[in-house]
Chain A
């Protein structure tokens, strides 16, 4: 009987460790949910290459003539953006255009040096270390 008890004690330790590991993994997964979600590699590459960029209206646009693959990628992302803007516009009592425009102000401000963005006059500019050219209504 004593031998059996010893076995039980021995068996418990690894199980406890495994449970702790699962708990830690779950905690990390929940603590950093969508915030750490990564951009699709094709999207990241097209952005970095300056083929696509941020427009003042809150959507992605083409700085150069796109390949069919890039066109499809941007259309998909813009549909997802519009769905997100629509949901937030309803929650904040604003129009989709107003919410999208406010997001566009932020997205242009967030561009990294080398990335493309569209100025209020329609020109595609490359972000450098200076502040981007944005609509005068941007905060």
Chain B
């Protein structure tokens, strides 16, 4: 009986440990989104400048 109780206790501790790992996920995801966006903007910058220059009457 004591042995079975110990196993349950260890299982419960292990489960608690697993749940705690999930929390830092969200901020990392937000940072990635900002990086992707900035990368796209840098890639398109030259094309955007050219478009503005060549269509100055609408800009």
Contact = CB atoms under 8 A, between A and B. Distances in A.
A37 B55 CA distance: 7
B51 to A, nearest CB: 5
Interface string B17-59: 0000000000000000010011011111101110111111111
A84 B41 CA distance: 17
Contacts, number: 72
Given A36-B56, A81-B58, A88-B47, 7 more contacts: A35-B54, A77-B58, A99-B47, A103-B52, A106-B49, A107-B59, A137-B37
Interface residues of B, number: 21
Given A35-B53, A107-B52, A110-B52, A102 B58 contact: no
A38 B59 CA distance: 10
A77 B59 CA distance: 8
A74 B55 CA distance: 16
Given A107-B59, A137-B38, A99 B44 contact: yes
A79 to B, nearest CB: 9
Contacts of B34: 136-137
B57 A138 contact: no
Contacts of A94: 40, 43-44
Among B40, B41, B44, B55, chain A packs the most CB atoms within 10 A around the CB of: B44
Contacts of A101: 41
A106 B54 CA distance: 14
